[in-house]
């Protein structure tokens, strides 16, 4: 059924924003940001299509924002967590600043390891999960797709909206890690698609004047943050729309001293 049909029932849902993928061009929506969220009960959701940079300022949610969305299950995406959003319904409610509260909210969606995520995907099409990891390295690979060839509409103007610059990431960032809670885990390597990481690379290219220098600076910053043994590191993982391969949308580092929730 067409999401714009008057027969579609939309459900208003309160969601904590826990991940935003790097923007990608869209023929219909100019560009979209696939957004990961978690409800108060611990349900993980994938929300799209959202042209975040083109929304009214008051609707532009950030990482760790509480926001309300009118959503309905995607009719074209069989992944069970994928929901379509009514853009005009977005309402930002507030922001979670406390590390303890962030961890307690996030912990409702954590599963033990990637291997269990694989089993859940086979069993019931689970396509998003949070796991605790040990980061080993950040690596770079040449990008495999070119927007200019695969999405020629990126060069077209828009009749009603002035398009904002959107550069394709210069390289594909990938993260190597082991599952913290599985001693038999072999090393995994996944694409790192979070907006803050691709934006960090872009900013470092401008600052340091070269792709190599920018990547080395980004690698240093991320490994310093997520290899810190005084903290626990978690990854928000999701599968590709067309392929079952896992990608990392967001990384989190929390103090090991956070007390357990008492209620």
Residue 223 is predicted with a pLDDT of 92
pLDDT of 155 reads 74
* CATH H superfamily, domain 11-99: Nucleic acid-binding proteins (2.40.50.140)
What is this structure's pTM? Answer: 0.92
pLDDT of residue 153: 72
pLDDT at res. 7: 65
Instruction: Write down the pLDDT at residue 160.
Output: 72
Q: Are strands 246-255 and 188-192 parallel, antiparallel or unpaired?
A: parallel
- Whole-number Å distance between alpha carbons of 25 and 8: 26
Q: 110-158+167-255 in CATH: which number?
A: 2.40.50
pLDDT tens-digit map of 28-83: 888 999 999 999 999 999 999 999 999 999 999 999 999 999 999 999 998 999 99
pLDDT at 171: 95
| Rounded Cα distance, 132 and 83, in Å | 25
Distance CA 39, CA 45 (A): 8
Give the model's pLDDT for residue 50: 95
Residue 25 near residue 151 (C-beta atoms within 8 A): yes
Segments of the chain with pLDDT less than 50: 1, 263
Q: Which residues 6+ apart lie within 8 Å of 185 measured at CB?
A: 113, 114, 115, 178, 179
Tokens read off for 150: 């695969």
Q: 11-99 with 110-158+167-255: one CATH topology?
A: yes
**pLDDT at site 161:** 80
The full set of domain ranges for the chain reads: 11-99, 110-158+167-255
């Amino acid at each position: 059924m067409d999401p714009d049909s008057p027969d579609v029932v939309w459900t208003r849902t309160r969601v904590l924003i826990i991940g935003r993928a790097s923007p990608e061009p869209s023929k219909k929506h100019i560009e979209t940001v696939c957004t990961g969220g978690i409800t108060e009960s611990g349900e993980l959701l994938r929300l799209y299509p959202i042209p975040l940079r083109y929304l009214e300022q008051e609707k532009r949610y950030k990482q760790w924002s509480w926001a309300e969305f009118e959503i309905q299950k995607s009719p074209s995406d069989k992944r069970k967590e994928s929901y379509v959003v009514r853009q005009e319904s977005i309402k930002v409610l507030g922001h979670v600043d406390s590390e303890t509260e962030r961890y307690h909210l996030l912990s409702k969606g954590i599963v033990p390891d990637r291997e269990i995520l694989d089993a859940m995907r086979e069993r019931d099409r689970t396509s998003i999960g949070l796991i605790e990891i040990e980061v080993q390295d950040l690596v770079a690979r040449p990008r495999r797709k070119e927007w200019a060839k695969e999405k020629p509409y990126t060069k077209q103007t828009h009749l009603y909206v002035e398009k904002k610059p959107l550069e394709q990431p210069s390289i594909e960032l990938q993260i190597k890690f082991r599952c913290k809670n599985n001693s038999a885990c072999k090393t995994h390597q996944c694409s790192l698609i979070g907006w803050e990481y691709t934006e960090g690379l872009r900013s470092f290219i401008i600052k340091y004047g070269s792709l190599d220098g920018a990547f080395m600076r980004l690698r240093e910053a991320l490994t310093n943050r997520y290899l810190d043994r005084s903290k626990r590191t978690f990854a928000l993982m999701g599968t590709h729309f067309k392929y079952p391969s896992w990608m990392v949308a967001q990384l989190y580092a929390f103090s090991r001293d956070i007390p357990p929730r008492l209620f």
